[in-house]
Chains A and B, each alone.
Chain A
């Protein structure tokens, strides 16, 4: 049953992506050109997966959260915090392992904080994570003392700009994280637990699920993903920009999850489809950049395309289409 409904959904996202790519190709015929340059693949298509990786990683963490009927608005700010910690640690001369461990530890701590507020104090996720969304950026600014902390450690920079087998590192990391998370939730009972909590938390708790600890872990994982994305974003520009790193990306991540077919009301979810959603968003962004449209149109074009995608996904539209197909839904006479 689930496999069937998922394959049905899958087609929606793939069609949407194909549509966006087709439009990109029409406005810029060189869109699919990929060449080999300095030991790496080079082309607009590669830009899409490279630039889409941070949001894809955020979406991987956001999917289980939304599936449990939650939301995490703080991931953009946590990105900034993780980037700031990584930059200051590497500038202070710590080795890469320590730098990464510190940045990820802080990010996980941020996630745990959210989880505590939500699972144990019963604060609504929207409000609970709003706290860190605002405070987190301030925290990042405190760490960087308000300036952009630049660094030149080649190992850290490699995470943001290096490549493995010709593919950009951020994309490789996102892919590995997606596979790991997907296998973990689908090869264990974890996915089922998450869906149970999202569908009806008290029922899930009465059946013996330790829903509090689970929710705590899910938000910690969201923090971890935001940390990874934050390190990538900082490594990409060789500096921690506390004011702008990850700004508004929480909204892109939520959108990616929604395009991926996960309902904000919890329940059914798919991590790979969320990643596909992130890629669709980025394909649109990159398309706008190469199209040569004036920047005033960016947001309008984006909003328009997203609306079309969401309308196509709407269950009600499916019902209407089905009704029209079965003919005469409203008792009208067909000529």
Chain B
């Protein structure tokens, strides 16, 4: 409750501040999907921070997981005559009409985090991560770390059939192909959750000689890795040493595990999609520079050498 109040206050103050700096800054409408995960909450708070940093007035609309709310919000932004619109689309289809309206009003639209199935001229650019690359970066780290030694990997997959699970699996397999010493011994779904990650890892540990045969655990997200780490500890092994732990997302809790020496690497899915979006918008407004159609965010690798305690502190307040 308190936080909501603070946010409201912040928004209020931000509006006041930026009304003063109206001449310098743009007014941007942001239609967010909702708050289905910690990552999304972090994306919202980082977007607000980035806007404030640049003196941009951000009009924020939470769609509560409904496309109709997003379309309503976008029409609202058009009516208010904003300078640009950011959309994190909840689904891929059904955007032609409302994006066409924005185009007619000459308001550039930037897609965040997810793509849409609509003609490319209806939006200025899209900012998203490359999930296959995330898997590849994780795999490349493992290849580099184990060298020529034989290594049996167990994989905690995301929800069966979900795009991130398919892509992160594909990228990892690409990276380890051609290195016959590294094999994926077992692969099961942990549904992207801690509890299931722990349960699945418990099963793997029993099935692989009490865990003695496992050299590394690759999890499609950090939450499952955190669950898996607990299972490894319960089995009397040392996560991070006896079994290497590599995962994706870079949420605060994996940095806490890293600081404790229990995780080895994570690949960041940055919540800062708005930064590159604002950069592209500012350049476009200033001298009409057309950005690339697909801006891919960096998939940065973090290891214990990257000050995990500091990263934990820095990310903790973002709402993950």
Contacts and interface: CB of A to CB of B under 8 A. Distances in A.
A245 interface: yes
Interface stretch (B96-104, B120-128, B188-196, B297-305): B188-196
A241 B235 CA distance: 23
B193 A42 contact: no
A146 interface: yes
A153 interface: no
B36 A243 contact: yes
B204 to A, nearest CB: 7
Contacts of B226: 237
Contacts of A146: 35, 38, 41, 319
B271 to A, nearest CB: 13
Interface of A is mostly: mixed
Contact of B37 (A237, A238, A243, A289): A243
Contact of A290 (B36, B37, B207): B207
A147 B320 CA distance: 6
A145 B199 CA distance: 26
A64 to B, nearest CB: 27
A241 B36 CA distance: 12
Contact of A298 (B38, B160, B223): B160
Interface in B174-231: 186-189, 191, 193-196, 198-200, 202-204, 206-207, 210, 223, 226-227, 230
A261 interface: no
Contacts of B189: 295, 298
Nearest to A245: B195
Interface of B: 3, 35-38, 41, 157, 160, 186-189, 191, 193-196, 198-200, 202-204, 206-207, 210, 223, 226-227, 230, 234-236, 253, 319-320
Interface of A: 28, 30, 33, 35, 37-38, 42-44, 47, 51, 141, 145-148, 150, 161, 233, 236-239, 241, 243-245, 247, 285-286, 288-290, 292, 294-296, 298
15 contacts: A30-B206, A42-B210, A42-B235, A47-B199, A47-B202, A51-B202, A147-B41, A236-B195, A237-B226, A237-B230, A244-B194, A289-B199, A290-B206, A296-B160, A298-B189
